[in-house]
Amino acid sequence: MDLYEHQARQLFAEHGIAVPRAEVVDNAAAARRAALRLGGRAVVKAQVRTGGRGKAGGVKMAAGPAAAALTARQILGMEIKGHIVRTVMLAEPVDIEAEFYVSYVLDRASGTFLAVASAQGGMDIEEVAATRPDAVARIPVDPAEGVTDDKAREIAEVAGLPPEAAPVLSRLWQVLTREDALLVEVNPLVRTTDGEILALDGKVTLDDNAAFRRSRWGGAETAGPHDDPLESEAAAKGLNYVKLDGEVGIIGNGAGLVMSTLDVVAGCGARPANFLDIGGGASARIMADGLSVILSDPEVKAVLVNVFGGITACDAVADGIVQALETVRLTKPLVVRLDGNNAARGRSILDSRAHPLIQQATTMDDAARRAARLADAA
């Protein structure tokens, strides 16, 4: 479960990481009062569980209480990557001398953790990582040993961080281990003109398997496990759906096949927009529900259905798609790959329907390439 920024900052403060004063409000009048308590000027920040808030207009500086109220009114109700802003955080502004990036993340492939840090923090850290990978240090951390004082100094030195950042690295590790987190991130970690090291922003992802130890985050404020509206809609329909930041919608039968499809689509230069596993059922209702959720994602430019017929035969999947088109208006190109049990009959059913937006492919690679091309051309 992802925490909101103000919740992450709360954890940081509890573990001795300094953060600027801040308050969370849900209306303009409260924003004005909060700005007064913070000294007048304030940074108004949308509280949603997604990145890109600054570029979307969800983070703004307010010069005084009246401006804070106006800015809060502008940001509240905004939609940022499918997330509706229901609260904003007003934070005390600071004079920044330098910005850094630090995080710990679980590396499942190697069975360890990675410390990821850079002396080039801030809003464009993703671009720095893509264009200047040497500017982002990745240091393995042995889970049994953890981040000792010596390890923290090593991470700071390798990443080019100032020595005074090392204690923050040790305390951030405490957040990870003591709070059952899979990811902790501070971007930016700043040094102020007074030489103070502060965490201005934070992201924490908690391990859902440890939820029984985290009742403090179980209130209405966390909005449950499906904070994304599309995930909430899919959950209500009984679909196994996870929203991703991409342009190719994915439907498959079986988690392994869907995961493989995501990888192949990414290998074709496109980004998957979701994970959707229809499991062993491909009824018209399931296909209609799945297509409805995926097509309602404005980021989706093309859809790929990849099915290997086993217990559920391919002709049943094809029938489900055809019947689903009676209730769902297909507005984006759909690539279908059917293989396995009754694949030939399934392809024939789709050929007979002859929908202008439906293409068929016989291999996963070909289907992924087609979907990627269609998404790129949209």
pLDDT of 145 reads: 92
Q: Choose the final residue of a domain: 56, 91, 126.
A: 91
Rounded Cα–Cα distance for residues 357 and 361 (Å): 13
pLDDT of 309 reads: 86
Select which of 5, 23, 185, 231 is catalytic. 185
- Is 172 among the domain residues? yes
| Total of domains in the chain | 3
- Is 1 among the domain residues? no
Same domain for 164 and 281:
no
Same domain for 130 and 79:
no
- The CA distances from residue 287 to 71, 192, 344, in Å, are 42, 54, 20
Same domain for 271 and 147:
no
pLDDT of 217 reads: 62
Same domain for 267 and 129:
no
> Residue 53's domain is classified under what CATH number?
3.30.1490.20
Same domain for 373 and 243:
yes
- Is 333 among the domain residues? yes
Count of H-run helices and E-run strands, the chain: 12, 18
Select which of 4, 23, 99, 101 is catalytic. 101
Same domain for 156 and 51:
no
> Among this protein's residues, is 241 annotated catalytic?
no
The answer to whether the CB of 334 falls within 8 A of the CB of 366 is no
> Residue 139's domain is classified under what CATH number?
3.30.470.20
Q: Choose the final residue of a domain: 217, 247, 266.
A: 217
- Dihedral (Cα; 112, 118, 121, 123), 10-degree rounding: -60
Query: Which positions ≥6 away from 343 have C-beta within 8 Å?
Result: 309, 314
Rounded Cα–Cα distance for residues 312 and 310 (Å): 5
- Is 52 among the domain residues? yes
- Is 307 among the domain residues? yes
Short-list 327, 248, 252, 338, CA closest to 294:
248
Rounded Cα–Cα distance for residues 90 and 7 (Å): 13
Same domain for 365 and 286:
yes
Q: Choose the final residue of a domain: 159, 187, 217.
A: 217
pLDDT of 40 reads: 95
pLDDT of 282 reads: 61
pTM equals 0.64
pLDDT of 51 reads: 83
Same domain for 131 and 46:
no
Same domain for 197 and 72:
no
The answer to whether the CB of 158 falls within 8 A of the CB of 140 is no
> Among this protein's residues, is 4 annotated catalytic?
no
- Is 13 among the domain residues? no
Q: How far is CA 132 from the centre of its chain?
A: 23
**pLDDT in single tens digits along all 378 residues of the chain:** 889 999 999 999 999 999 999 999 999 999 999 999 999 999 999 999 888 898 899 999 999 999 999 999 999 999 888 788 999 999 999 999 999 999 999 887 778 899 999 998 776 676 766 677 788 999 999 988 999 999 999 999 999 999 999 999 999 999 999 999 999 999 999 999 999 999 999 999 998 888 777 666 654 344 444 457 788 888 888 888 999 989 999 999 888 899 999 999 999 999 999 999 987 666 778 888 899 999 989 999 999 999 998 877 899 889 989 988 888 889 999 999 999 999 999 999 999 999 999 999 999 999 999 999 999 998
Same domain for 176 and 103:
yes
- Is 314 among the domain residues? yes
Q: DSSP letters along 57-115, please?
A: T-EEEESSHHHHHHHHHHHTT-EETTEE---EEEE----EEEEEEEEEEEETTTTEEEE
Same domain for 355 and 303:
yes
- Is 197 among the domain residues? yes
Domain range for residue 362? 229-377
Same domain for 125 and 250:
no
> Residue 358's domain is classified under what CATH number?
3.40.50.261
pLDDT of 124 reads: 67
